[in-house]
Amino acid sequence: MTITSQEPATDYAPLTDAERKEFHENGYKHLPGVVSPEIVAELQAEADRLYGENKDTGHIDKTGSLHLLGAVSHSSAFARMLDYSPTFRWVWGLAGWNIYSQHNHLDVNPPYEEDETPRWEWHQDGWRQNSDAEYYAPYYGDVPRPMLSIKVAIVLSDISEPGRGQTLCIPGSHLNNHMYRPTDPAEIAKGPEGAVPWLAKPGDAFIFDRRLWHSRSRNRSDVTRKMLFMSYTYRWVRPVDDMPIDRESAWYAGLTPVQRQLIGEAFGNLKVQNMWGVGEGGWIDDTIPLRAELKERGLLDRNVPWLR
């Protein structure tokens, strides 16, 4: 594993034009070795702890998998990853300062051998966002949907060999509103043309546009797959997961102002009655922690709408 960055979480390095262009062409980005081995070890231990606890309480499905929603509220180590520089620079760089994590999950997927009818699991994220806010093609033509959220995936197990339950994606598919959906089981099992598995090592990360067509895959290996997913959206979009904020907890005490924004705290401060939307409680409020951070560093940018 090559460690390309062990920068502290306080480094806000802006994206380069080449990085932006590449992301907008592919709809995702693989970042090899961006999480330091010490942090990876800590996250793996937390994943194992949470798997054990949820197994004891019966929150494991029939395949032995854990899909733990609101994951950052169950672990300080997970919550600290919300603004981990090497991944977070992509999030604020592509979505701006007016964000929080509405949805985040830990996935632990042990090997699962049972043969079952293959299911077509290809999707864009966002559920009703894809239909409620649809541009109606007969009127508008096939205009790409808005991005609305961006997701970070942190790899915690070795998925460098195919068949280990990788996420699959179709590079560049994020601007397509539609994808064909086969009904023939053989075709379903074969999967779509151009699908790429995310082959990666612990400490790698992926950033993806929620519109990127992607799918889970079955873990047919002998290695348990472990991934932490964190989705970020705008503060005016409602939360997906239950993430109660216990302000008396050690978990909360350990969070920075930006991390508190990212768990949804500044969400409640959004006052839409401020018509002009500037100043405290308004749409553009310099006390919103991430905006304040970027402003202080001179990283707000008139030319990039989400960084204004």
CB nearer to Fe ion: pick between 97 and 122: 122
CB nearer to ligand AKG: pick between 88 and 97: 88
- Secondary structure of the chain in HEC code, one letter for each residue: CCCCCCCCCCCCCCCCHHHHHHHHHHCEEEECCCCCHHHHHHHHHHHHHHHHHHHHCCCCCCCCCEEEECHHHHCHHHHHHHHCHHHHHHHHHHHCCCEEEEEEEEEEECCCCCCCCCCCCCECCCCCHHHHCCCCHHHHCCCCCCCCEEEEEEECCCECCCCECCCEECCCHHHCCCCCCCCCHHHHHHCCCCCEECCECCCCEEEEECCCCEECCCECCCCCEEEEEEEEEECCCCCCCCCCCCCCCHHHHCCCHHHHHHCCHHHHHCCCCCCCCECCCCCECCCCHHHHHHHHCCCCCCCCHHHC
CB nearer to Fe ion: pick between 83 and 125: 125
Which positions from 108 through 147 interact with ligand AKG, judged by CB under 6 A?
125
Q: Per rule CB under 5 A, is residue 42 in the interface with Fe ion?
A: no
CB nearer to ligand AKG: pick between 212 and 299: 212
Q: Which does 293 bind (CB under 5 to 8 A by kind): Fe ion, ligand AKG, none?
A: none
* Residues 118-137: x where in contact with Fe ion by CB under 5 A, - otherwise, as a string: -------x------------
Of 28, 229, 232, 251, the one binding ligand AKG (CB under 6 A) is 229
Of 20, 24, 30, 216, the one binding ligand AKG (CB under 6 A) is 216
Q: Which does 84 bind (CB under 5 to 8 A by kind): Fe ion, ligand AKG, none?
A: none
Q: Give the CB-nearest residue to Fe ion.
A: 125
Q: Per rule CB under 6 A, is residue 209 in the interface with ligand AKG?
A: no
